[in-house]
Chains A and B, each alone.
Chain A
Amino acid sequence: AQTVTQSQPEMSVQEAETVTLSCTYDTSENNYYLFWYKQPPSRQMILVIRQEAYKQQNATENRFSVNFQKAAKSFSLKISDSQLGDTAMYFCAFMKARANAGNMLTFGGGTRLMVKP
C-alpha cells in the first residue's frame, strides 16, 4: 500500500515571498503520478500541478513548481510570488499508473497555508 506524508500541518508566508511545502511518499511502484491539489475555503478541490514519475524534468505551472526526487521519494511544491488567493489547504497525492482500472488517489494529510498581507 502507498502512503503519503505531509510533515507540515500549517505554514505561513508573506505576500510576494516564496514558500515550499513538503511531501514524501512510500511505494514499491516504479510508474506513478504525483499531484498537488489546492482546497480553498470554498472546499473545492483544484488540481495545481502534476508530475509523471518517468519524467526527470520537474513540472512547472506559472508560479507553481515542484522538486521531484524519485530516489528519495520526495515531492515538494514551491509557490513563488505568493498571493492572498493562495491561502488554502494543500494536499499531496499519489496515483499508481494502471492501464485498465480506476486510478485511485492516495492523499497526504494536508498543509494549511496562510498568505499574510
Chain B
Amino acid sequence: DAGITQSPRHKVTETGTPVTLRCHQTENHRYMYWYRQDPGHGLRLIHYSYGVKDTDKGEVSDGYSVSRSKTEDFLLTLESATSSQTSVYFCAISESPGAYNNEQFFGPGTRLTVL
C-alpha cells in the first residue's frame, strides 16, 4: 500500500469554526490531491498540488484553501466550516502525469461533520 496517512480520521465541529485536514505521504510523489465524497456525486476534486508551493483549484474549491510547504504534506483548510462541507475527504497522490505512472493512490479518508 502507498504510504498515505490522513489526520484526523474523524472530526465533528461547529459551523463557523476553522478546520485543517492533513495529508502526509512517504512516497515522495510530486502530485497531491484533495477530493470530497458525497452520496450520488462520487468523488469531486477540491484542490491539487503539482509541487511545493504550487497549487491549483479543482471543481469544488469554494470555501477551501490548501497549502504545501513540504513535498510530503498537503493541508486542506476550511476557513469557516459550513454544514454543506460535511463530507468524507480523501487525499490522493500520483507520481507524474506520464502514461504508465499516473495512477492515483488514495488515503484512508477523513469523515468531517459540521453541526
By a beta-carbon cutoff of 8 Å, the part of chain A in contact with chain B is 4, 9, 33, 43-45, 47, 50, 52, 91, 93, 95, 97-110
Chain B interface (Cβ < 8 Å from any Cβ of A): 31, 33, 35, 40-45, 48-50, 56, 58-59, 88, 90, 92, 94, 97, 99, 102-104, 106, 108-109
Residues of A within 8 A of B48 (CB): 102, 104
Indicate if the CB atoms of B42 and A100 lie closer than 8 Å: no
In the assembly, what is the distance between CA of A103 and CA of B56, in Å?
Answer: 12
| Distance between Cα atoms of A50 and B35 in the complex (Å) | 20
The residue on A at minimum CB distance from B55 is A102
Give every chain B residue within 8 A of A107 (Cβ-Cβ).
41-44
B30 to chain A, nearest CB (A): 9
A71 to B104, alpha carbons, bound, how many Å?
Answer: 26
**A105 partner residues in chain B, CB cutoff 8 A:** 33, 35, 43, 45, 92, 104
Contact status A109-B99, CB under 8 Å: no
CB contact between B40 and one of A100, A101, A103, A109 (< 8 Å): that residue: A109
Q: How far is the CA of A106 from the CA of B44 in the complex (A)?
A: 7
Minimum CB–CB distance from B15 to chain A (whole Å) comes to 25
In order of increasing CB-CB distance, the 9 nearest A-B pairs are A107-B42, A45-B106, A102-B48, A107-B43, A102-B31, A102-B50, A103-B102, A43-B109, A103-B97
Inside 8 A of B44's CB, which chain A residues have their CB?
Answer: 107
The CA of A83 and the CA of B81, in the complex, are separated in Å by 41
Judge whether A50 and B103 touch: CB under 8 Å.
yes
8 A–B contacts from the bound complex (CB under 8 Å): A43-B108, A44-B108, A45-B43, A45-B106, A97-B97, A102-B48, A107-B42, A109-B41
Distance between A114 CB and nearest chain B CB, rounded to angstroms: 17
When distances are taken between beta carbons in the complex, the residues of chain B under 8 Å from A98 are 97
* Pick from B33, B42, B108: contact of A4, CB under 8 Å: B42
Q: B97 to A102, Cβ gap below 8 A? A: yes
